Structures are given as C-alpha cells and as structure tokens.
Amino acid sequence: MTYRLDGLAGHFDDSWGMLVSGSLICQCLDLSALAVVEAQVASGDAGGTAIAWVLPSVDTPDTRPPPCFGAGMDILVLGGTQWVGRVVSREALERGHLVTCLARGVSGQVADGAELVTADRSRPDAYDAVKARRWDAVVEVSWQPGFVKAALAAISAGHWTYVSSGNVYLRHDEPGADESAELQPTTHLETVTREQYGPAKRVCEDASRERYGDRLLVARAGLIGGPGDHTGRSGAWVARCARDPHGAVLIPSEPDMATQVVDVRDLAAFLVDSFEKHIVGTFNAVGPVVPFSEWFALARAAAQHDGQVVTAPSAWLVQQGVEEYMGPGSLALWLADPAFSGWSRRSGAKARAEGMHHRPRAQMVADLLEYERTMNLTIRNAGLTPEHEAELLRLLLKPA
C-alpha cells in the first residue's frame, strides 16, 4: 500500500517494516493508518526522531527495492566463527554496524564486538532466536542445501548475500570467462559431501534467488587467501621460502602460468559495501590475475630467500607424481591440466566495476608471511614435504 508522510508520498514495504519516500527512510513502530507514529528519519548525513502522520494516499506505489542504511545496520552472519564469516563480521563492526553470528560456537570465536547466538543448523529450531527480527542484511556461506533452504525460509532481511564459489561453473578451460558461463547441474541432495560441492553451491544460489530475487548478491569467490588462510594454500610459497631462506627451492618452469587469489579482507570489504549500497546481482569475486613468476618473486622478496631456484617442466612433475594446486605432495597454485587453463583466469571485471578493490599483491604476500610465522611455517593443505622436495631436487640436479 502507498502512504503519505507529512505530505510526501511514499510506500510501505512489509518485509522491511519501513516507509520509504525519496531520500527519507522512516522506520515505523506503529503501522496503523491515520495514527501518529514515531519514526526514525535518515536523510543524507542528517538524522533524528520525528512525529509524523501516516495517511492513505492514491499515489502510484513505488516499486523500487527498499534501500539499506549506510551505517548502523543490523547484520546477521550465518556462521562467523571461522575464516570468511569472521572477517566479514570484523569488517562490518569496524564500519559501525551491529553484527550477530549464528553458529555452534565450537569452531572458533566470533569477531570482537559481535554477538554469538549458539545454534545447531541441523536442528529444526536452529533459527528460533533470530527469525523474529527484521535484519538489514544477512550473510550466508554454507554449501549444505538443507541448511541454506531452511535459513531462507525462516529469516527475513532487506539484503541477502550468498557467498558461492567458482566451482559452480561446469568448465574451467576458458580464460576470461565471466558470470554467463555454463553452470554445473544441480543435486537433489539436502546434505552433500565435498564431491558434490559445485552442484550444491548451484542449488544454494538458485534457492537464494527464488527467495530474495532483486535483494540478493551472489559472490562467486575464487581461491580465497590472505591472513587467516588455515588451508595454507595462499601462503604456501612465502612460507616455503621462509622455512629455508638459503636453500634450493623447486618451482614449475611455467613463468606465465596464472595465479588468482582474492584477499579475504578485500572480499569482505566488497560484501559489506554491498549491504551499504544495496549492490545486487551475481559477481565473480576473484582476485587479479598474476603470473606465477611474479607471485613467486614477491614470496622470495618477502621471505628474503637467496637460495638456488630450480625449475622443472610440468610434464616431468606430473610424471613424478607431484599433485597440482593443493593437497599433500602438491605444488601450490600450479595447474598443468588443460581442463583448468581458465581456473585462475576468470573475469572479475563486473565486480571491479561495482567497486571491488584489490590491495597490492606485495602487501598481501607480506601479510601472509606474518600470518604463516604465527603458524610456525607449517605445511598444511599445500606444498611438498622437505623430504619429497629434496628427492625431486636430487633427481633434477644429479649429473647426466
């Protein structure tokens, strides 16, 4: 229904509990027509409390999506005790927003200043403590379709963000592919294993669009890295150089091979921007494309590595059983399979056009080294063990 506020035409949006009129946003506390209500008015940088008449109007209803507040928003993060959710929470808190995290509370701590609502998302009462509130924005990161669908059904929000993945795409062999690329088929499963990760993310995207439509931002993240990367993938090379700064190091002999890592802090900043500016749509939230030679040079410089650099052709590394990209016995970020020639070259132009910013790679690598030192430079989910690397170096350097 359309209303008039002090002579200004506006519309009331039931899902937000909000009267909107041009630049005026009035949070209504009593929705009775022909009644005096107390409203919080925000216009530009000004704000205050006003008494206003809310009267029926014959003006044409305003069909624009309800705007989000620029500051002091009430944000719900589904998760928030580890990695992406915690960094998004921290970014939002630093900008003056209120943050509530719904999680089991066993994987880690929420960001300082956030409120933790303890809940098990596998239970039917998981959202009882949060479903009665009108959230300005919600962030969802889960890849379990059952969890995502239940949250969408229970929670009301002015803006919804779903953190998806480049794994939703069917193919990864097209450098420069954008958001229009063909997607994975869906899965009918409500609970999935890692083998169904891509199809499950696709299902979660589709369910989010069905529920929130033009109030939804989908961020298809690439490899997320930066300080806090518990997987060790983004920090593997700088940690390797720091572990043995004077010894020989083995790298693939493809200097132009692409790397593409999005700093978790830059991703979080873009997501919080989307709440504040009501950015909606589907975006490849990926980092800049950087040649491997440049990434490795930054790692060497940060770690002050001055040892010998030994290169090996990809075909030889594959023959020796070295794993690609991640996992035990791997060379981090290295991809030899032609089917993945576009994995680290996906277009992020659309997100950049909406203001997504990427900090200098040198700063990111330096910060990664600082974090990896707190992890004792351990090899986690990427990298060769010293013994494995030493054996490969012995084979490469032995006299003919």
Tokens standing for residue 105: 């509370």
Model pLDDT, residue 182: 98
For residue range 97-143, list pLDDT tens digits in order. 999 999 999 989 999 999 999 999 999 999 999 999 999 999 999 99
pLDDT at 17 over 70: no
C-alpha distance from residue 22 to each of 3, 8, 11, 146 (Å) = 13, 9, 10, 39
Half-sphere exposure of 387 (CA within 13 A, CB side): 1
% of the chain at pLDDT higher than 90: 80
Give the whole-angstrom CA distance, residue 341 versus residue 299.
Answer: 23
pLDDT at 372 over 80: yes
Of the candidate ranges 9-13, 23-27, 282-286, the one whose mean pLDDT is the lowest:
23-27
pLDDT at 176 over 50: yes
Task: Kindly state the helix (H) or strand (E) to which residue 197 belongs, with its residue range.
Answer: helix 197-212
Of the candidate ranges 61-70, 165-174, 188-197, the one whose mean pLDDT is the lowest:
61-70
C-alpha distance from residue 181 to each of 33, 221, 249, 347 (Å) = 49, 15, 37, 11
The chain-wide mean pLDDT, for the chain, equals: 86
pLDDT interval class at 70 (50, 70, 90): low
Model pLDDT, residue 28: 34
Model pLDDT, residue 62: 35
Tokens standing for residue 358: 């990427």
For residue range 253-267, list pLDDT tens digits in order. 999 999 999 999 999
For residue range 266-280, list pLDDT tens digits in order. 999 999 999 999 999
> Is 369 within 8 Å of 303 (Cβ atoms)?
yes
Higher pLDDT, 329 or 38: 329
Beta strand spans in 14-133 (E): 18-21, 24-28, 35-43, 46-56, 74-78, 98-103, 115-118
Structural domain boundaries of the chain? 2-56, 74-221, 236-397
Q: Quick one: CA dihedral 92, 226, 104, 190, positive or negative?
A: positive
Model pLDDT, residue 48: 35
Summarize the confidence of residues 171-185 as an average pLDDT: 98
Which residues does 69 contact at the CB level (< 8 Å), separation at least 6?
Answer: 25, 42, 136, 276
DSSP 326-377: SEETEEET----GGGTTGGG---HHHHHTT-----HHHHHHHHHHHHHHTTT
CATH 3.40.50.720 is right for the domain spanning 74-221: yes
pLDDT at 25 over 60: no
For residue range 283-302, list pLDDT tens digits in order. 999 999 999 999 999 999 99
Of the candidate ranges 96-100, 110-114, 354-358, 395-399, the one whose mean pLDDT is the lowest:
395-399
Please state at what angle helix 361-374 crosses helix 292-303, rounded to 10 degrees.
50
> Is 141 within 8 Å of 120 (Cβ atoms)?
no
